[in-house]
Chain A
Protein backbone atom coordinates (compact mmCIF):
# COMPACT_ATOMS: atom_id res chain seq x y z
CA UNK A 1 0.00 0.00 0.00
CA UNK A 2 1.13 3.54 -0.75
CA UNK A 3 2.41 5.32 2.36
CA UNK A 4 0.09 8.06 3.59
CA UNK A 5 2.98 10.51 3.90
CA UNK A 6 6.14 10.48 1.83
CA UNK A 7 8.96 12.88 2.59
CA UNK A 8 11.57 12.88 -0.15
CA UNK A 9 15.01 14.45 0.18
CA UNK A 10 13.60 17.31 2.22
CA UNK A 11 15.86 20.15 3.28
CA UNK A 12 15.03 23.21 5.28
CA UNK A 13 17.33 26.14 5.74
CA UNK A 14 15.92 28.91 7.93
CA UNK A 15 16.54 32.51 6.96
CA UNK A 16 19.80 33.23 8.73
CA UNK A 17 21.28 30.08 7.28
CA UNK A 18 20.49 27.44 9.89
CA UNK A 19 20.18 24.04 8.22
CA UNK A 20 17.32 22.56 10.26
CA UNK A 21 16.41 19.55 8.09
CA UNK A 22 18.97 17.61 6.07
CA UNK A 23 17.89 15.27 3.28
CA UNK A 24 14.98 13.85 5.21
CA UNK A 25 13.61 10.60 3.79
CA UNK A 26 10.57 9.34 5.63
CA UNK A 27 7.47 7.32 4.95
CA UNK A 28 4.51 7.15 7.28
CA UNK A 29 2.28 4.13 6.89
CA UNK A 30 -1.46 4.31 6.70
CA UNK A 31 -3.11 3.89 10.09
CA UNK A 32 0.01 3.61 12.21
CA UNK A 33 1.13 5.49 15.28
CA UNK A 34 4.52 6.89 14.48
CA UNK A 35 6.63 8.39 17.25
CA UNK A 36 9.25 10.91 16.26
CA UNK A 37 11.91 11.17 18.94
CA UNK A 38 14.86 13.49 19.23
CA UNK A 39 16.50 15.90 21.63
CA UNK A 40 15.57 19.59 21.87
CA UNK A 41 16.31 21.43 18.65
CA UNK A 42 16.58 18.23 16.60
CA UNK A 43 14.07 19.47 14.02
CA UNK A 44 10.88 17.64 15.00
CA UNK A 45 8.67 20.72 15.03
CA UNK A 46 10.30 22.01 11.86
CA UNK A 47 9.54 18.76 10.03
CA UNK A 48 5.92 18.80 11.19
CA UNK A 49 5.59 22.49 10.32
CA UNK A 50 6.79 21.89 6.78
CA UNK A 51 4.35 19.01 6.25
CA UNK A 52 1.46 21.06 7.66
CA UNK A 53 2.25 24.18 5.62
CA UNK A 54 3.31 26.48 8.45
CA UNK A 55 6.90 26.74 7.32
CA UNK A 56 8.02 26.96 3.70
CA UNK A 57 9.70 23.78 2.53
CA UNK A 58 13.17 24.03 1.10
CA UNK A 59 14.41 21.56 -1.49
CA UNK A 60 12.64 18.25 -1.63
CA UNK A 61 9.09 17.06 -1.76
CA UNK A 62 6.34 16.00 0.60
CA UNK A 63 3.35 13.95 -0.55
CA UNK A 64 0.23 13.43 1.51
CA UNK A 65 -1.64 10.44 0.14
CA UNK A 66 0.11 11.10 -3.15
CA UNK A 67 -0.74 14.81 -3.20
CA UNK A 68 2.01 17.38 -3.23
CA UNK A 69 1.76 19.67 -0.17
CA UNK A 70 2.61 22.73 -2.26
CA UNK A 71 0.79 22.09 -5.52
CA UNK A 72 -2.26 20.28 -4.11
CA UNK A 73 -2.21 22.11 -0.78
CA UNK A 74 -5.96 22.18 -0.41
CA UNK A 75 -6.52 18.44 -0.72
CA UNK A 76 -3.43 17.67 1.33
CA UNK A 77 -4.25 20.02 4.20
CA UNK A 78 -7.89 18.96 4.46
CA UNK A 79 -6.65 15.55 5.52
CA UNK A 80 -4.40 16.82 8.30
CA UNK A 81 -5.05 17.95 11.85
CA UNK A 82 -2.28 19.53 13.91
CA UNK A 83 -1.88 19.96 17.64
CA UNK A 84 1.02 22.41 17.95
CA UNK A 85 3.66 22.33 20.62
CA UNK A 86 2.92 25.87 21.77
CA UNK A 87 -0.36 26.60 23.53
CA UNK A 88 -1.50 29.19 21.01
CA UNK A 89 -5.23 29.75 20.96
CA UNK A 90 -7.23 32.97 20.91
CA UNK A 91 -7.97 33.37 24.59
CA UNK A 92 -11.00 35.65 24.47
CA UNK A 93 -13.07 33.17 22.50
CA UNK A 94 -15.21 30.44 24.00
CA UNK A 95 -14.34 26.77 23.55
CA UNK A 96 -17.39 26.22 21.38
CA UNK A 97 -16.64 29.20 19.12
CA UNK A 98 -13.05 28.20 18.60
CA UNK A 99 -13.82 24.63 17.54
CA UNK A 100 -16.60 25.90 15.27
CA UNK A 101 -14.11 28.32 13.76
CA UNK A 102 -11.55 25.58 13.14
CA UNK A 103 -14.06 23.35 11.43
CA UNK A 104 -15.13 26.15 9.12
CA UNK A 105 -11.56 27.13 8.38
CA UNK A 106 -10.89 23.63 7.10
CA UNK A 107 -13.84 23.89 4.75
CA UNK A 108 -16.34 21.68 6.53
CA UNK A 109 -20.02 22.60 6.95
CA UNK A 110 -21.31 23.02 10.49
CA UNK A 111 -21.97 19.83 12.44
CA UNK A 112 -22.89 20.64 16.05
CA UNK A 113 -23.58 16.98 16.88
CA UNK A 114 -20.07 15.92 15.91
CA UNK A 115 -18.49 18.81 17.80
CA UNK A 116 -20.55 17.98 20.86
CA UNK A 117 -19.33 14.40 20.82
CA UNK A 118 -15.77 15.60 20.33
CA UNK A 119 -15.94 17.94 23.31
CA UNK A 120 -17.54 15.24 25.42
CA UNK A 121 -14.76 12.81 24.51
CA UNK A 122 -12.22 15.37 25.64
CA UNK A 123 -14.15 16.21 28.84
CA UNK A 124 -14.60 19.77 27.60
CA UNK A 125 -18.36 19.77 27.14
CA UNK A 126 -18.99 21.44 30.50
CA UNK A 127 -16.55 24.15 29.54
CA UNK A 128 -17.97 24.83 26.09
CA UNK A 129 -19.21 28.32 26.98
CA UNK A 130 -16.12 29.29 28.94
CA UNK A 131 -13.63 31.70 27.53
CA UNK A 132 -10.36 29.96 26.89
CA UNK A 133 -8.50 32.39 29.12
CA UNK A 134 -10.33 30.84 32.11
CA UNK A 135 -9.08 27.31 31.39
CA UNK A 136 -6.08 25.53 32.87
CA UNK A 137 -3.06 24.59 30.80
CA UNK A 138 -4.13 20.96 30.44
CA UNK A 139 -7.59 22.03 29.34
CA UNK A 140 -6.12 24.43 26.80
CA UNK A 141 -4.12 21.57 25.35
CA UNK A 142 -7.31 19.55 25.02
CA UNK A 143 -8.96 22.51 23.30
CA UNK A 144 -6.11 22.41 20.79
CA UNK A 145 -6.73 18.71 20.26
CA UNK A 146 -10.43 19.41 19.75
CA UNK A 147 -9.58 22.10 17.21
CA UNK A 148 -7.27 19.73 15.37
CA UNK A 149 -9.98 17.06 15.20
CA UNK A 150 -12.85 19.43 14.44
CA UNK A 151 -12.67 18.79 10.69
CA UNK A 152 -12.37 15.00 11.04
CA UNK A 153 -8.86 14.64 9.62
CA UNK A 154 -7.45 11.21 8.90
CA UNK A 155 -3.90 12.24 9.71
CA UNK A 156 -3.17 13.74 13.11
CA UNK A 157 0.06 15.40 14.15
CA UNK A 158 0.64 15.77 17.87
CA UNK A 159 3.67 17.85 18.76
CA UNK A 160 4.38 16.97 22.38
CA UNK A 161 0.74 16.49 23.30
CA UNK A 162 1.46 15.40 26.85
CA UNK A 163 3.78 18.22 27.93
CA UNK A 164 2.28 19.72 31.09
CA UNK A 165 -0.54 17.21 31.29
CA UNK A 166 -1.13 15.27 34.52
CA UNK A 167 -0.89 11.50 34.75
CA UNK A 168 -4.58 10.75 34.70
CA UNK A 169 -5.27 13.03 31.80
CA UNK A 170 -2.34 11.63 29.92
CA UNK A 171 -3.82 8.17 30.25
CA UNK A 172 -7.17 9.45 28.93
CA UNK A 173 -5.37 11.12 26.09
CA UNK A 174 -3.59 7.94 25.09
CA UNK A 175 -6.86 6.07 25.22
CA UNK A 176 -8.34 8.59 22.87
CA UNK A 177 -5.37 8.37 20.54
CA UNK A 178 -5.72 4.58 20.46
CA UNK A 179 -9.41 4.96 19.67
CA UNK A 180 -8.55 7.32 16.85
CA UNK A 181 -6.00 4.89 15.50
CA UNK A 182 -8.57 2.11 15.66
CA UNK A 183 -10.94 4.26 13.62
CA UNK A 184 -8.27 4.51 10.92
CA UNK A 185 -6.55 7.80 11.73
CA UNK A 186 -2.80 7.88 11.16
CA UNK A 187 -1.00 9.48 14.10
CA UNK A 188 2.40 11.10 14.14
CA UNK A 189 3.55 12.32 17.52
CA UNK A 190 6.62 13.69 19.18
CA UNK A 191 7.34 13.24 22.83
CA UNK A 192 10.14 13.50 25.32
CA UNK A 193 8.54 10.79 27.47
CA UNK A 194 10.11 7.79 25.85
CA UNK A 195 8.00 5.32 27.85
CA UNK A 196 5.06 6.79 25.99
CA UNK A 197 6.54 6.00 22.63
CA UNK A 198 7.41 2.54 23.91
CA UNK A 199 3.82 2.04 25.00
CA UNK A 200 2.02 3.56 22.09
CA UNK A 201 3.98 3.62 18.91
CA UNK A 202 3.96 1.07 16.11
CA UNK A 203 7.11 2.56 14.67
CA UNK A 204 9.79 4.85 15.96
CA UNK A 205 11.79 7.47 14.12
CA UNK A 206 14.76 9.20 15.67
CA UNK A 207 15.91 12.57 14.43
CA UNK A 208 19.08 14.30 15.56
CA UNK A 209 20.57 17.57 14.33
CA UNK A 210 18.19 17.65 11.39
CA UNK A 211 18.93 14.12 10.22
CA UNK A 212 16.82 11.01 10.48
CA UNK A 213 19.04 8.62 12.39
CA UNK A 214 16.76 5.64 12.38
CA UNK A 215 13.27 4.47 11.50
CA UNK A 216 12.23 1.07 12.83
CA UNK A 217 9.38 -1.04 13.86
CA UNK A 218 9.23 -0.58 17.61
CA UNK A 219 9.27 -4.26 18.49
CA UNK A 220 12.10 -5.16 16.19
CA UNK A 221 14.01 -2.11 17.35
CA UNK A 222 13.74 -3.19 20.92
CA UNK A 223 14.73 -6.68 19.96
CA UNK A 224 17.61 -5.68 17.78
CA UNK A 225 19.11 -2.92 19.84
CA UNK A 226 17.77 -3.99 23.19
CA UNK A 227 20.21 -5.67 25.57
CA UNK A 228 19.21 -8.26 28.11
CA UNK A 229 21.02 -9.04 31.30
CA UNK A 230 20.85 -12.10 33.44
CA UNK A 231 21.97 -11.52 37.01
CA UNK A 232 22.89 -14.48 39.19
CA UNK A 233 23.08 -14.12 42.95
CA UNK A 234 25.97 -16.36 44.03
CA UNK A 235 26.02 -18.50 47.12
CA UNK A 236 29.72 -17.93 47.67
CA UNK A 237 31.81 -15.00 46.48
CA UNK A 238 33.74 -15.67 43.30
CA UNK A 239 37.19 -14.01 43.14
CA UNK A 240 37.65 -14.29 39.34
CA UNK A 241 35.71 -15.51 36.36
CA UNK A 242 36.97 -19.01 35.57
CA UNK A 243 38.75 -19.49 32.22
CA UNK A 244 36.08 -21.94 31.07
CA UNK A 245 33.57 -19.10 30.97
CA UNK A 246 35.68 -16.61 29.05
CA UNK A 247 33.71 -16.87 25.83
CA UNK A 248 30.57 -15.64 27.61
CA UNK A 249 30.04 -11.92 28.07
CA UNK A 250 30.27 -12.02 31.87
CA UNK A 251 30.97 -9.47 34.54
CA UNK A 252 31.55 -9.83 38.22
CA UNK A 253 30.12 -7.38 40.71
CA UNK A 254 32.49 -5.65 43.11
CA UNK A 255 31.33 -7.61 46.13
CA UNK A 256 31.95 -10.77 44.07
CA UNK A 257 28.44 -11.95 44.90
CA UNK A 258 26.84 -11.29 41.53
CA UNK A 259 27.60 -12.68 38.12
CA UNK A 260 26.11 -10.60 35.31
CA UNK A 261 25.60 -12.08 31.84
CA UNK A 262 24.78 -9.64 28.98
CA UNK A 263 23.25 -10.94 25.76
CA UNK A 264 21.28 -9.61 22.78
CA UNK A 265 17.53 -9.99 23.00
CA UNK A 266 17.47 -11.92 19.77
CA UNK A 267 20.24 -14.35 20.63
CA UNK A 268 19.33 -17.96 20.96
CA UNK A 269 17.78 -19.44 24.02
CA UNK A 270 20.42 -22.13 24.17
CA UNK A 271 23.14 -19.72 25.32
CA UNK A 272 21.55 -19.33 28.71
CA UNK A 273 20.94 -23.05 29.09
CA UNK A 274 24.56 -23.73 28.15
CA UNK A 275 25.84 -21.13 30.59
CA UNK A 276 23.80 -22.54 33.44
CA UNK A 277 25.00 -26.03 32.62
CA UNK A 278 28.62 -24.85 32.67
CA UNK A 279 28.09 -23.21 36.04
CA UNK A 280 26.75 -26.45 37.37
CA UNK A 281 29.80 -28.29 36.04
CA UNK A 282 32.05 -25.77 37.75
CA UNK A 283 30.00 -26.10 40.93
CA UNK A 284 29.24 -22.42 41.10
CA UNK A 285 25.99 -22.28 43.02
CA UNK A 286 23.48 -19.48 42.92
CA UNK A 287 20.56 -18.60 45.15
CA UNK A 288 18.57 -16.33 42.88
CA UNK A 289 18.43 -14.99 39.37
CA UNK A 290 16.64 -12.27 37.41
CA UNK A 291 16.71 -10.75 33.95
CA UNK A 292 16.40 -7.14 32.89
CA UNK A 293 15.74 -5.67 29.45
CA UNK A 294 16.87 -2.26 28.24
CA UNK A 295 14.13 0.27 27.64
CA UNK A 296 13.61 2.34 24.56
CA UNK A 297 15.14 5.16 26.53
CA UNK A 298 18.45 3.29 26.88
CA UNK A 299 18.37 2.53 23.16
CA UNK A 300 17.61 6.14 22.36
CA UNK A 301 20.38 7.53 24.53
CA UNK A 302 22.79 4.98 23.09
CA UNK A 303 21.85 6.02 19.56
CA UNK A 304 22.34 9.69 20.22
CA UNK A 305 25.74 9.06 21.76
CA UNK A 306 26.70 7.09 18.70
CA UNK A 307 25.66 9.85 16.28
CA UNK A 308 26.92 12.72 18.41
Chain B
Protein backbone atom coordinates (compact mmCIF):
# COMPACT_ATOMS: atom_id res chain seq x y z
CA UNK B 1 0.00 0.00 0.00
CA UNK B 2 1.43 3.38 -1.04
CA UNK B 3 0.57 5.32 2.11
CA UNK B 4 2.64 8.32 1.05
CA UNK B 5 0.58 8.66 -2.11
CA UNK B 6 -2.75 8.46 -0.31
CA UNK B 7 -1.51 11.11 2.08
CA UNK B 8 -0.24 13.30 -0.76
CA UNK B 9 -3.57 13.24 -2.60
CA UNK B 10 -5.54 13.66 0.63
CA UNK B 11 -3.52 16.66 1.76
CA UNK B 12 -3.56 18.20 -1.71
CA UNK B 13 -7.35 18.02 -1.75
CA UNK B 14 -7.70 19.43 1.77
CA UNK B 15 -5.31 22.25 0.87
CA UNK B 16 -7.69 23.10 -1.95
CA UNK B 17 -10.40 23.47 0.71
CA UNK B 18 -8.32 25.88 2.79
CA UNK B 19 -7.49 27.89 -0.32
CA UNK B 20 -11.20 28.34 -0.98
CA UNK B 21 -12.36 28.56 2.60
CA UNK B 22 -15.12 31.07 1.91
CA UNK B 23 -16.64 29.05 -0.86
CA UNK B 24 -16.20 25.64 0.69
CA UNK B 25 -17.08 26.25 4.34
CA UNK B 26 -18.51 29.71 4.92
CA UNK B 27 -21.08 29.66 2.15
CA UNK B 28 -22.79 26.35 3.01
CA UNK B 29 -22.80 27.28 6.70
CA UNK B 30 -24.40 30.62 5.89
CA UNK B 31 -27.08 29.19 3.64
CA UNK B 32 -27.99 26.48 6.15
CA UNK B 33 -28.16 29.07 8.90
CA UNK B 34 -30.68 30.97 6.79
CA UNK B 35 -32.83 27.84 6.63
CA UNK B 36 -32.69 27.54 10.40
CA UNK B 37 -33.70 31.17 10.84
CA UNK B 38 -36.53 31.08 8.30
CA UNK B 39 -37.94 27.58 8.80
CA UNK B 40 -36.71 26.86 12.30
CA UNK B 41 -37.18 30.07 14.23
CA UNK B 42 -39.56 32.21 12.18
CA UNK B 43 -42.04 29.85 10.49
CA UNK B 44 -41.28 26.92 12.74
CA UNK B 45 -42.69 28.68 15.79
CA UNK B 46 -46.12 28.68 14.12
CA UNK B 47 -45.97 25.02 13.08
CA UNK B 48 -47.29 22.10 15.08
CA UNK B 49 -44.78 19.63 16.41
CA UNK B 50 -44.16 16.48 14.32
CA UNK B 51 -44.00 13.20 16.23
CA UNK B 52 -43.70 15.33 19.34
CA UNK B 53 -40.61 17.14 18.02
CA UNK B 54 -40.72 20.91 17.54
CA UNK B 55 -40.53 21.82 13.86
CA UNK B 56 -37.27 23.71 14.25
CA UNK B 57 -35.62 20.67 15.79
CA UNK B 58 -37.30 18.33 13.31
CA UNK B 59 -35.56 19.90 10.30
CA UNK B 60 -32.04 19.90 11.78
CA UNK B 61 -31.08 16.35 10.66
CA UNK B 62 -32.59 16.86 7.21
CA UNK B 63 -30.73 20.11 6.64
CA UNK B 64 -27.44 18.62 7.73
CA UNK B 65 -28.02 15.73 5.33
CA UNK B 66 -28.87 18.17 2.55
CA UNK B 67 -25.52 19.87 2.99
CA UNK B 68 -23.50 16.70 3.45
CA UNK B 69 -25.03 15.11 0.34
CA UNK B 70 -24.54 18.08 -1.96
CA UNK B 71 -21.11 18.97 -0.63
CA UNK B 72 -19.79 15.39 -0.76
CA UNK B 73 -21.00 15.00 -4.31
CA UNK B 74 -19.76 18.32 -5.64
CA UNK B 75 -16.46 18.16 -3.78
CA UNK B 76 -15.45 14.71 -4.84
CA UNK B 77 -16.61 15.29 -8.41
CA UNK B 78 -14.67 18.53 -8.67
CA UNK B 79 -11.60 16.97 -7.08
CA UNK B 80 -11.17 14.35 -9.79
CA UNK B 81 -12.61 16.38 -12.65
CA UNK B 82 -10.05 19.19 -12.29
CA UNK B 83 -6.92 17.09 -12.98
CA UNK B 84 -8.73 15.49 -15.90
CA UNK B 85 -9.66 18.90 -17.24
CA UNK B 86 -6.27 20.56 -16.69
CA UNK B 87 -4.21 17.55 -17.77
CA UNK B 88 -2.43 17.15 -14.43
CA UNK B 89 -3.96 13.68 -14.18
CA UNK B 90 -0.93 12.44 -16.14
CA UNK B 91 0.99 12.44 -12.89
CA UNK B 92 -1.57 10.34 -11.02
CA UNK B 93 -1.74 7.88 -13.91
CA UNK B 94 2.04 7.55 -14.12
CA UNK B 95 2.48 7.14 -10.36
CA UNK B 96 2.87 3.79 -8.58
CA UNK B 97 -0.60 4.02 -7.09
CA UNK B 98 -3.50 1.60 -7.28
CA UNK B 99 -7.09 2.54 -8.02
CA UNK B 100 -7.96 1.90 -4.39
CA UNK B 101 -5.30 4.35 -3.23
CA UNK B 102 -6.44 7.04 -5.65
CA UNK B 103 -10.03 6.65 -4.47
CA UNK B 104 -8.97 6.66 -0.82
CA UNK B 105 -7.13 9.94 -1.33
CA UNK B 106 -9.84 11.78 -3.24
CA UNK B 107 -12.90 10.30 -1.58
CA UNK B 108 -11.30 10.43 1.86
CA UNK B 109 -10.60 14.14 1.49
CA UNK B 110 -14.07 14.95 0.15
CA UNK B 111 -15.73 12.93 2.90
CA UNK B 112 -13.56 14.52 5.59
CA UNK B 113 -14.49 17.94 4.38
CA UNK B 114 -18.23 17.36 4.25
CA UNK B 115 -18.14 15.56 7.58
CA UNK B 116 -16.48 18.61 9.14
CA UNK B 117 -19.03 20.79 7.45
CA UNK B 118 -21.88 18.66 8.81
CA UNK B 119 -20.49 18.97 12.33
CA UNK B 120 -20.02 22.73 11.96
CA UNK B 121 -23.62 23.07 10.86
CA UNK B 122 -24.74 20.88 13.71
CA UNK B 123 -22.98 23.28 16.06
CA UNK B 124 -24.39 26.32 14.28
CA UNK B 125 -27.93 24.95 14.52
CA UNK B 126 -27.60 25.08 18.28
CA UNK B 127 -27.68 28.86 18.08
CA UNK B 128 -31.12 28.84 16.46
CA UNK B 129 -32.96 25.77 17.69
CA UNK B 130 -32.94 23.39 20.59
CA UNK B 131 -32.36 19.75 19.71
CA UNK B 132 -31.16 16.58 21.37
CA UNK B 133 -29.22 13.59 20.09
CA UNK B 134 -30.52 10.27 21.33
CA UNK B 135 -27.89 8.04 19.70
CA UNK B 136 -24.70 10.10 19.19
CA UNK B 137 -22.74 7.05 18.04
CA UNK B 138 -25.26 6.24 15.32
CA UNK B 139 -25.58 9.90 14.44
CA UNK B 140 -21.85 10.04 13.71
CA UNK B 141 -22.02 6.68 11.99
CA UNK B 142 -24.77 7.77 9.60
CA UNK B 143 -22.95 11.01 8.92
CA UNK B 144 -19.67 9.27 8.08
CA UNK B 145 -21.33 6.59 5.96
CA UNK B 146 -23.30 9.18 4.02
CA UNK B 147 -20.27 11.41 3.52
CA UNK B 148 -18.23 8.50 2.16
CA UNK B 149 -21.03 7.10 0.02
CA UNK B 150 -21.81 10.38 -1.67
CA UNK B 151 -18.15 11.23 -2.10
CA UNK B 152 -17.86 7.93 -3.98
CA UNK B 153 -20.89 8.95 -6.00
CA UNK B 154 -19.30 12.35 -6.69
CA UNK B 155 -16.09 10.67 -7.77
CA UNK B 156 -18.06 8.75 -10.39
CA UNK B 157 -19.69 11.93 -11.65
CA UNK B 158 -16.31 13.68 -11.82
CA UNK B 159 -14.88 10.86 -13.93
CA UNK B 160 -17.91 10.75 -16.24
CA UNK B 161 -18.37 14.49 -16.70
CA UNK B 162 -17.21 16.09 -19.93
CA UNK B 163 -17.80 19.68 -18.90
CA UNK B 164 -18.21 21.90 -15.87
CA UNK B 165 -21.88 22.10 -16.66
CA UNK B 166 -22.33 18.35 -16.43
CA UNK B 167 -20.37 18.47 -13.20
CA UNK B 168 -22.89 20.80 -11.58
CA UNK B 169 -26.01 19.33 -13.05
CA UNK B 170 -26.17 16.25 -10.84
CA UNK B 171 -25.91 17.99 -7.46
CA UNK B 172 -28.31 20.70 -8.66
CA UNK B 173 -30.86 18.67 -10.57
CA UNK B 174 -30.77 15.34 -8.74
CA UNK B 175 -29.47 15.62 -5.20
CA UNK B 176 -31.27 18.84 -4.25
CA UNK B 177 -34.76 17.75 -5.37
CA UNK B 178 -34.35 14.27 -3.93
CA UNK B 179 -33.33 15.75 -0.60
CA UNK B 180 -36.16 18.28 -0.51
CA UNK B 181 -38.65 15.58 -1.45
CA UNK B 182 -36.97 13.04 0.80
CA UNK B 183 -38.42 14.35 4.02
CA UNK B 184 -35.99 17.07 5.05
CA UNK B 185 -38.85 19.39 5.93
CA UNK B 186 -41.70 16.99 6.67
CA UNK B 187 -42.49 13.51 7.83
CA UNK B 188 -43.45 11.16 5.04
CA UNK B 189 -46.52 10.18 7.02
CA UNK B 190 -47.83 13.68 6.31
CA UNK B 191 -48.13 12.83 2.59
CA UNK B 192 -51.16 11.28 0.88
CA UNK B 193 -50.80 7.44 0.66
CA UNK B 194 -49.95 7.41 -3.07
CA UNK B 195 -47.08 9.84 -2.56
CA UNK B 196 -45.90 7.90 0.44
CA UNK B 197 -45.41 4.89 -1.79
CA UNK B 198 -43.70 6.88 -4.55
CA UNK B 199 -41.41 8.52 -2.01
CA UNK B 200 -40.12 5.13 -0.92
CA UNK B 201 -38.26 4.95 -4.25
CA UNK B 202 -36.26 7.98 -3.23
CA UNK B 203 -33.03 6.70 -1.66
CA UNK B 204 -32.55 9.93 0.26
CA UNK B 205 -35.66 9.15 2.32
CA UNK B 206 -33.76 6.32 3.99
CA UNK B 207 -30.76 8.47 4.77
CA UNK B 208 -32.75 11.27 6.33
CA UNK B 209 -35.04 8.93 8.17
CA UNK B 210 -32.15 6.99 9.69
CA UNK B 211 -30.27 10.14 10.55
CA UNK B 212 -33.32 11.69 12.20
CA UNK B 213 -33.82 8.50 14.16
CA UNK B 214 -30.33 8.92 15.65
CA UNK B 215 -31.48 12.32 16.94
CA UNK B 216 -35.00 11.72 18.17
CA UNK B 217 -35.55 7.98 18.13
CA UNK B 218 -38.40 8.25 15.59
CA UNK B 219 -38.17 7.29 11.95
CA UNK B 220 -40.29 7.14 8.78
CA UNK B 221 -38.79 3.78 7.83
CA UNK B 222 -37.07 1.07 9.83
CA UNK B 223 -33.54 2.05 10.87
CA UNK B 224 -32.11 -1.27 9.77
CA UNK B 225 -33.59 -0.63 6.34
CA UNK B 226 -31.99 2.83 6.28
CA UNK B 227 -28.61 1.40 7.11
CA UNK B 228 -29.04 -1.35 4.52
CA UNK B 229 -29.93 1.17 1.82
CA UNK B 230 -26.88 3.33 2.52
CA UNK B 231 -24.61 0.30 2.44
CA UNK B 232 -26.21 -0.91 -0.77
CA UNK B 233 -25.76 2.45 -2.44
CA UNK B 234 -22.17 2.54 -1.24
CA UNK B 235 -21.44 -0.90 -2.65
CA UNK B 236 -23.01 0.09 -5.96
CA UNK B 237 -20.70 3.10 -6.17
CA UNK B 238 -17.68 0.98 -5.27
CA UNK B 239 -18.69 -1.47 -7.99
CA UNK B 240 -18.99 1.27 -10.61
CA UNK B 241 -15.63 2.77 -9.63
CA UNK B 242 -14.06 -0.67 -9.83
CA UNK B 243 -15.43 -1.02 -13.34
CA UNK B 244 -14.16 2.47 -14.30
CA UNK B 245 -10.63 1.59 -13.28
CA UNK B 246 -10.69 -1.86 -14.82
CA UNK B 247 -11.75 -0.51 -18.18
CA UNK B 248 -10.02 2.87 -17.90
CA UNK B 249 -13.36 4.35 -18.91
CA UNK B 250 -12.98 8.11 -19.50
CA UNK B 251 -9.70 8.06 -17.56
CA UNK B 252 -7.26 6.28 -19.82
CA UNK B 253 -7.47 5.68 -23.56
Contact = CB atoms under 8 A, between A and B. Distances in A.
Contacts of A120: none
A88 B88 contact: yes
Interface in B1-48: 2, 4-5, 7-9, 11-12, 15-16, 19
A106 B101 CA distance: 12
B253 interface: yes
B59 to A, nearest CB: 36
B2 A107 contact: yes
Contact of A77 (B7, B83, B94, B253): B94
A130 interface: no
Contacts of A101: 8, 11-12
Interface in B230-253: 248, 252-253
Nearest to B248: A56
Contact of B7 (A56, A84, A104, A106): A104
Interface stretch (A47-55, A173-181, A221-229, A246-254): A47-55
Given A74-B2, A104-B8, A88 B93 contact: no
Contact of B86 (A15, A76, A90, A147): A90
A147 B94 CA distance: 12
A56 B245 CA distance: 11
Nearest to A88: B87
A74 B101 CA distance: 12
B96 A106 contact: yes
B164 interface: no
Interface string B183-203: 000000000000000000000
A164 interface: no
Nearest to A81: B94
Contact of A88 (B2, B11, B90): B90
A301 B87 CA distance: 32
A111 to B, nearest CB: 11
Given A77-B96, A78-B96, A105 B253 contact: no
B162 to A, nearest CB: 15
Contacts of A89: 88
A266 interface: no
A109 interface: yes
A77 B92 CA distance: 11
B144 interface: no
Interface in A26-76: 52-56, 73-76
Contacts of B82: 90
Q: Which among B16, B96, B248 has the highest number of chain A CB atoms within 10 Å? A: B96
Given A88-B86, A106-B5, A107-B96, A147 B253 contact: no
Nearest to B15: A97
B253 A55 contact: yes
Contacts of A189: none
A92 interface: yes
Contacts of A23: none
B27 to A, nearest CB: 18
A102 B4 CA distance: 10
Nearest to B3: A107
24 contacts: A53-B93, A56-B252, A77-B95, A77-B96, A84-B90, A86-B90, A89-B88, A90-B82, A90-B86, A91-B86, A93-B12, A97-B12, A97-B15, A101-B8, A101-B11, A102-B91, A103-B4, A103-B8, A104-B4, A104-B7, A104-B8, A105-B91, A106-B95, A107-B2
Interface of A: 14-15, 52-56, 73-78, 80, 82, 84, 86, 88-93, 97, 100-109, 147
Interface of B: 2, 4-5, 7-9, 11-12, 15-16, 19, 82-83, 86-88, 90-98, 248, 252-253
Q: Which 4 A-B pairs have the closest CB atoms?
A: A104-B8, A88-B87, A77-B96, A74-B96
Given A84-B90, A89-B88, A105-B5, 5 more contacts: A52-B94, A56-B252, A88-B87, A90-B82, A105-B95
